Amino acid sequence: MLNLCLPTDMTDSNKMIINLALFGMTQSGKSSAGNILLGSTDFHSSFSPCSVTKDCCLGRSCHLCRFMRRGGQEITLQIQVLDTPGYPHSRLKQEHVKQEIKEALAHHFGQEGLHLALLVQRADMPLCGQEASSSVQMIQELLGHAWKKYTAILFTHAEKIEEAGFTEDKYLREASDTLLTLLNSIQHRYIFQYKKGNSLNEQRIIILERIMEFIKENCYQVLTFK
C-alpha cells in the first residue's frame, strides 16, 4: 500500500522528484497510463476513432512517503508526468506535434531534467510499419544521441496477451523484428501494464518500482533540455 504524506512531513534531503514523459501512437493508452502513474485522473482519457490529446500537459502526483530507501534514508517520492499528443496525430501535423513536445520538454524539464521517456505501445498490436517507427524516430530527435539510455517501453492492454494464452516471455520471443530490435537498443527496458486482476494501486506500485529500477541503473542521471 502506498503511504501519502504532506510536504511538511519531509525535508529536501529525503524527497525525490521523478520526471517522466509519455510518447506513443494515437489510442496507445498514454493518458490512461499517465493517470495510473499519478494515481489520479489528471489526463483526459477515452476511446475515440481519432486522437484525443491535442496539447502537452504536466501532471504531479501526491507525495508517496517511504517509497524506497537510498543511502540509508527513507525516501519520499513525487512523480511528474508529461502527457503528449499521439504521434502520428489524426488532426495535427507531425511538425506541429514535434515542436509542441520539444517546447514542453524544455519548459518543464529544461533544468530539472528528464529521468525516463516511456514509449507507450499496445501489447495487442504489433509494433511494425512506418507509423510505429515514427514515434521512435521522434524520441530519437527530441532526446538526442542519449535516447537509448533514457527510454523504456510501457506495454498497455497486457491483459490481452494473457487472454490469448501468452506469457510475457513467449510474447517477447514471438514479437516482430521491429520490436526486438528496439528492445535490444534500449537494453530490454520494458514494463507490462495490466488492467485486470490487480487493483489500480497495486498496478501503480509495480510500475513505479520497475521505473525506479531503470532510473537507479542510470545512477539517477537526467537528460536536460535547452
Half-sphere exposure of 134 (CA within 13 A, CB side): 16
pTM for this prediction: 0.90
Q: Enumerate domains of the chain plus CATH numbers.
A: 20-218 (3.40.50.300)
User: How far, in Å, CA of 58 to CA of 26, rounded?
Assistant: 18
Residue 56 in grid coordinates: 502537452
Contact in structure between 101 and 85 (CB atoms under 8 Å): yes
Distances from the Cα of 135 to the Cαs of 15, 38, 44, 46, 159, in angstroms? 33, 23, 21, 21, 23
Among 33, 57, 52, which Cα is nearest to 155's?
33
Contact in structure between 122 and 175 (CB atoms under 8 Å): no
Residues of the chain with pLDDT under 50: 8-10
Fill in the DSSP letter of residue 20: E
187-215: pLDDT as tens digits: 999 999 997 666 778 889 999 999 999 99
Distance of CA 72 to the CA centre of its chain: 28
Distance of CA 61 to the CA centre of its chain: 14
User: How far, in Å, CA of 207 to CA of 186, rounded?
Assistant: 17
143-169: pLDDT as tens digits: 999 999 999 999 999 999 999 999 999
- According to DSSP, the residues that pair with 69 across neighbouring strands are 74
